[in-house]
Amino acid sequence: MNTYEGLFIFPESLDEEGLDQAIGRVKEELEKLGGSMESNVRMGKKAFARPLKKQKAGIYVVIMFKIDGEKVDAFKARLKLATNVFRHQFVESDGVEVATEA
């Protein structure tokens, strides 16, 4: 299994409970493919440089997860169909822990 860092952007219209449910749905889709969520960091609501699909801002969440490299494309496809993810981007992590400020 490879470790990935994913930047997920959720619609700005979600409240705290809705965001919890959306992150839970991402976790469910990941687990269906044999992966696991390691951690998530909520970065808050941020404005876009220009409107995207009539939205001016989004809620950013960084999620660290593990999944087989062969299943990443399937995971991306499931995100489009089954979740409330507006945008996503993944990079493979080299296993180095990144310190975050609390």
CB 83 within 8 Å of CB 25: yes
- The b-or-e profile of 52-76 (16+ CB within 10 A means b, else e) is eeeeeebbbbebbbebeeebbeebe
**CATH number of the 2-92 domain:** 3.30.70.60
Q: What is the reported pLDDT for 22?
A: 92
pTM: 0.84
- At 65-84, the pLDDT tens digits run 999 989 999 999 888 887 78
What is the CB neighbour count within 10 angstroms for residue 4? 20
Q: What is the reported pLDDT for 53?
A: 80
What residue spans define the domains of the chain?
Answer: 2-92
CB 13 within 8 Å of CB 70: no
